[in-house]
Structure 1
Amino acid sequence: MSVFSVRFTNIGCRAFAISQSRLMSDSGGSSGSIREAGGAFGKMQVAHEEEYFYKQQKELLKQLKSTISEEISDHKRKIVEHEEEIKKHRSRIEELEKRVS
């Protein structure tokens, strides 16, 4: 399992947990006295909760994008290193072929 999949899994779990808690908050359970009272304060409380979860989800997506960008950069760096190694090996093969000929 790569570092990327571990990071992705952790971020994905957090996003799922946020979504799950949002669903549970609208499921009719006890959700606080202000919310139960209804009216403007209840609506305001719902709006604040929605804003909180929106910001949290946005931050998680930002972290995921950053993680993926880091992975891409790392892979590009490794590609360059591998290409250099391939060149070295090819030159060694050429030298060996010259010795044999």
Structure 2
Amino acid sequence: MALRLYGLKSLTRNVQLIGCRMMSNDLGGGAGKGGGTGGSIREAGGTFGKIEAAREEEFIRRLQKQQLQELRRHLNVEVNILEKEIKSHQAAIQRHKKKISEIEGKTDTD
């Protein structure tokens, strides 16, 4: 009887520890963070899980920073191209206006 109670007490204590571990709010604190298990290291929790979570977060931040820089660079190139097209169109408009005024000038004198 005493062994049964000790085994039951041990089992309930382990369940309490597991429940506490699964409900942890820390990244890398155990399974279920971010919608998935995240692999065996993060699933186990503890220091290694926290380190791995920090590395993943750093990688994501670096990737986002790189993507933003590339987007800025691309948009700057596109703006430069469009500004050149604007200048080209303005020059064409001036040429056409000049031709129109020349044609109107010739027809008025005729």
Max radius of gyration: which structure?
A: 2
What is the match of residue 54 of structure 2? 47
Q: TM-score w.r.t. structure 2 length?
A: 0.64
Structure number with the bigger relative contact order (C-alpha 8 A, sep ≥ 6) is 1
Q: TM-score w.r.t. structure 1 length?
A: 0.69
Query: Larger % of helix: which?
Result: 1
What pairs up with 1:1-101 in 2 under 5 angstroms?
A: 26-27=34-35, 29-101=36-108
Q: Name stretches of at least 5 consecutive residues in structure 2 with no aligned partner.
A: 1-31
Q: CA deviation at 1:48?
A: 0.4
Q: Name stretches of at least 5 consecutive residues in structure 1 with no aligned partner.
A: 1-23
Q: Please identify runs of 4+ aligned residues in structure 1 that moved more than 3 A.
A: none
How many residues are treated as equivalent by the alignment? 77
User: Distance between the aligned counterparts of 1:52 and 1:86, measured in 2?
Assistant: 51
